[in-house]
Amino acid sequence: MMAVDTEEVPNRRKPILTKWLPLGSIQRKLAFWLLFPLLALIVMAGIFDQVIMPAVTRQGSAFELPDLTNQKVIDIDQKLEDLDLSYEIAGEEFAPGKEKGTIIRQYPIAGTLVKPGRIIKLIICKGQKMVNIPQVSGKSVRQAILDLETAGLTVGEIAWAFSDTIPEKVVVFSYPSAGTEIPSGSPVNLMVNRGRATDFTYMPKVIGMPLEDARKLIEDKGLKVGKLRTRTDENFLPETVLEQSEVEGAELQLGTEVDLVISKT
């Protein structure tokens, strides 16, 4: 007879987690079909977030964007290339006092953290808008200032002159002169009448004028309307000047009263 070896065969290695997940149990099946795939996804997400994404986005390479404004576009090419940045012209605007091609604004603004490869958008100056100086001679200083501001200009120096022919505090002329084309925002100087140069003026002709018009002309010359007398005259409208006490062209002291005769029906 053959001898039988009664030595026990060594136990095979038990599957993992058998103690907690018995073979063939529902728990073990759920773990392998749900829990383990979920753990694998979590591990992969961690690797993607901590390794792959930082490499793609160059985490840690951000730096402050320098100020590009008030520089010419042609002067920043090399600077941006050295920073691994690029730019695009997002728009053009008029800008008083700036040369064409000068950077007015940038997006993002200076000091913003950016990463290599970022595109910087620029607003550049397309030159200076040119406007015509409006006619301001003969107007009050206030009205002249309003007209200049409406045209996009500013008031520069105000000089004073003396004139016997125009009212006080009225603009004599502007310089540059009216009609000259200058950049928007530029100053325009004004020459303004401070008063009369002498104590004398000349008598204007008011015969045939309506009383109110005659009164205004007389007062503009620094004279006053004195006594008024009326005379019937069917050839003229009521209150038309028929006579004046001082002859036209007479040299009179400022403030002299001029008597008038006016018509009545």
pLDDT of residue 252: 87
Within a domain: residue 23?
A: no
Through-space distance between the first and last CA atoms of the chain, rounded to whole angstroms: 173
Q: Is 128 left (phi over 0), alpha (psi -120 to 50) or beta?
A: beta
Q: 120 with 134, same domain? A: no
Strand extents, DSSP E, 50-117: 63-64, 86-93, 103-107, 113-114
Within a domain: residue 4?
A: no
Q: 107 with 140, same domain? A: no
Domain count, the chain: 4
In a 13 Å sphere around the CA of 97, the CA atoms on its Cβ side amount to 6
Q: 52 with 82, same domain? A: no
Q: 190 with 137, same domain? A: yes
User: Which of 168, 195, 222 is a domain's end point?
Assistant: 195
Domain around 147: 130-195
Strand extents, DSSP E, 148-264: 154-162, 171-175, 181-183, 187-195, 200-202, 224-232, 241-244, 251-253, 257-264
User: Which of 75, 110, 125 is a domain's end point?
Assistant: 125
Within a domain: residue 9?
A: no
CATH number at residue 185: 3.30.10.20
Sheet holding 224-232, edge to edge: 224-232, 257-264, 241-244
Query: For the segment 58-115, what is each residue's pLDDT rounded down to a tens digit?
Result: 555 789 999 999 999 888 988 898 899 999 999 988 887 788 889 999 999 998 999 9
Query: One digit per residue, pLDDT tens: the chain, 265 residues?
Result: 444 444 444 455 555 556 565 666 666 666 666 666 777 778 777 776 666 665 555 555 789 999 999 999 888 988 898 899 999 999 988 887 788 889 999 999 998 999 998 999 999 998 878 899 999 998 998 999 999 999 999 998 888 887 767 777 889 999 999 999 998 888 999 999 877 767 778 899 999 999 999 999 999 888 999 999 999 988 899 999 999 999 988 888 888 999 999 998 7
Within a domain: residue 5?
A: no
Q: 214 with 190, same domain? A: no
Within a domain: residue 219?
A: yes
Say whether pTM exceeds 0.75.
no
Within a domain: residue 24?
A: no
